[in-house]
Amino acid sequence: MSATANAIIGQAIRRLREASGLSQNRLAEQAGITYQYLSAVENGKENFTIGILESIARSLGLQVDTLIDHAYADSRPIPTVNPQFFIPGAPLPPGLSQAHLQTAINETHKVVRLINTTLIKASGRPLSAYIQGNNFSGIVSNILTDSFSRLTPYKHNHDQRYPDLVCKNTSGTIAGLEVKSTIRPGKGGESHNGHPGWHLIACFSLDNTSGDILFIHMMFAKLIGQGKPNADWKYVGSAVNKDTGSQRTETYNTTPAGTAKLRHGTAYLDTSVIDISRWRTDTSIPIPRHSPFKSKPQKQSKKTKHGA
């Protein structure tokens, strides 16, 4: 056992002992060892056998594996969204509140952390190191969707493929919600079928070392489906990447108007990492009061400037 492992486990024993209100003398007595030996173990200066570790763990009311989990648990705080970055007045699907949204986002951060903690212990690599970028975004979408289903009025839709989530009352479905995740802020929507209804585009940042994610931009919009007048979707076909040979599966992207609706429907925007000052929105879409995207003043002509 390396000195580093000794120190990590020893520190965990000390934390757990102190949290239990036990003195070194008391814990040593219960574990059948001397307090001098226990002190050396807690300071990472003494080797120990599995039998000794079992005795200490038992005296703390734990199994050995639980003690080891405590020792190697990630002590860093799990990422959480900053409530000040929610956009006041941003429209959300019926039955969904900003409090629901905040809870679902933070739960997704937590689940991703737990997955990464296990993988890093097993192989030294987080989930994102195993999976191609688009597929990883798909997994984040699935985890976010499940967080919504467990913690908000929007539940998994088991009746059909679309939408991902539905909100129902005793009279039937109130609304549906399709969920997509991406690492590209402000990206428009992508869809297999260009469905109508409420859509969420959730942008997150990724820490490649820890595998932690942090949602930084959330856009909601109720879009007009393909085939309808003024549809917010356009058919783009299935393109093949010349470098990798991979083929995209989405066949519809949002039109400029559809993307503008999503951008104007921004419900959360982390302005500490995202600058939208150069982003464009389609001028055919009126700018709602709640939108973080404001119309830019027209440049004055030379005549106007000189008062001519």
Between CA 258 and CA 230 the distance in angstroms is 10
Q: How many CB atoms lie within 10 A of CB 32?
A: 12
Could you tell me if 184 and 147 lie in one domain?
Answer: yes
pLDDT number for residue 34: 95
* Domain contains 34: yes
* Domain contains 299: no
Instruction: Supply the mean pLDDT for the chain.
Output: 88
pLDDT number for residue 239: 65
pLDDT number for residue 245: 64
Could you tell me if 60 and 104 lie in one domain?
Answer: no
pLDDT number for residue 232: 97
DSSP code, position 131: S
Contact 43, 9 (CB under 8 A): no
pLDDT number for residue 134: 82
Could you tell me if 122 and 192 lie in one domain?
Answer: yes
Task: Specify which of 58-67, 89-98, 167-176 reaches the highest per-range mean pLDDT.
Answer: 89-98
pLDDT category of residue 97 using cuts at 50, 70 and 90:
very high
DSSP code, position 246: -
* Domain contains 285: no
Could you tell me if 27 and 140 lie in one domain?
Answer: no
Say whether pLDDT at 1 is over 50.
no
pLDDT number for residue 7: 86
Say whether pLDDT at 253 is over 80.
yes
Q: Which residues are bridge partners to 166 per DSSP?
A: 155, 176
**Which is more confidently placed, 239 or 216?**
216
Could you tell me if 94 and 171 lie in one domain?
Answer: yes
Q: What is the pLDDT of residues 192-209, one digit of tens each?
A: 889 999 999 999 999 999
- What CATH number does the domain containing 88 carry? 3.40.600
**Nearest by Cα to 144 from 81, 190, 86:** 81
* Domain contains 18: yes
Could you tell me if 141 and 43 lie in one domain?
Answer: no
- What global pTM score does this model have? 0.76
Could you tell me if 119 and 231 lie in one domain?
Answer: yes
Structure-block tokens of residue 190 = 């992508």
Based on the structure, what is the number of domains in the chain? 2
What do you get for the CA distance between the two ends of the chain, in Å?
85
**Which is more confidently placed, 3 or 254?**
254
pLDDT number for residue 257: 96
- What CATH number does the domain containing 9 carry? 1.10.260.40
pLDDT category of residue 172 using cuts at 50, 70 and 90:
confident
* Domain contains 78: no
Say whether pLDDT at 146 is over 80.
yes
Could you tell me if 199 and 249 lie in one domain?
Answer: yes
Q: What is the pLDDT of residues 55-75, one digit of tens each?
A: 999 999 999 988 988 887 777
Could you tell me if 154 and 263 lie in one domain?
Answer: yes
* Domain contains 288: no
**Nearest by Cα to 101 from 249, 267, 280, 258:** 267
* Domain contains 207: yes
Could you tell me if 179 and 242 lie in one domain?
Answer: yes
Say whether pLDDT at 37 is over 60.
yes
Could you tell me if 55 and 171 lie in one domain?
Answer: no
pLDDT number for residue 5: 82
pLDDT number for residue 304: 38
Averaged pLDDT for residues 24-47: 93
* Domain contains 278: no
Averaged pLDDT for residues 174-187: 92
Say whether pLDDT at 276 is over 60.
yes
Could you tell me if 137 and 175 lie in one domain?
Answer: yes
Structural domain including 19 reads 3-72
